[in-house]
A and B are shown apart, each in its own frame.
Chain A
């Protein structure tokens, strides 16, 4: 079975500061990894995905994530936080057999931006 653990259900950063949201995965097969963002009262939107190509993945809105097999991690970062980044962020895992068809989501991290 696959799973993801998101460390920190709430993260607060100042506007302009580095954003770091942590995700560790567990998988018995090579994983596919995803980050989704959910703005208030909206559905989820794909930020970026890792599907066994480049380990550093760039996504929308200036976010990026690095796949580190040795650490079983896929942390999400952004160099400079904007007020519009305030949202809930979900890490998800799957594998090559199922890809997007069978995602296992983490419990989410709520990001607050301090003016």
Chain B
């Protein structure tokens, strides 16, 4: 089966510019996650979707971050405007759903804000 696909792999932008990341989950996976991974740190959950509904966005900085999952498949994570501190790897993961379904991670998008 095809894995979780993320694009772009790398993105370099200047501060105050907008940026968007795209994620295509494994076919049939209803649950989709966006994680933030700072350098030298473990991933931190930003948002979790069940189908098209954001069921946990408590850790998403809503002043500048937004996400959507139209039609319950692909998802986009946006930052506007980007700040220097947003430089990190943004990981997308998907699962079949439920508490014991394993997460399948994409390769991530590495964002550098200059």
Contact = CB atoms under 8 A, between A and B. Distances in A.
Contacts, number: 57
Residue among B45, B95, B99 with the highest chain A CB neighbour number at 10 A: B99
Contacts of B53: none
- Interface SS, A side: loop
Interface residues of A, number: 23
A44 B91 contact: yes
A86 to B, nearest CB: 17
Interface stretch (A13-21, A66-74, A93-101): A93-101
B107 A42 contact: yes
Nearest to B92: A43
What are the 10 closest A-B residue pairs judged by CB atoms, nearest first?
A99-B99, A105-B42, A43-B105, A44-B105, A46-B102, A43-B107, A43-B106, A90-B42, A99-B100, A105-B43
Interface of B: 4, 31, 40-45, 48, 56, 91, 93, 95, 98-108
Given A102-B45, A105-B42, 8 more contacts: A44-B43, A44-B93, A51-B100, A96-B99, A98-B99, A101-B31, A103-B103, A108-B40
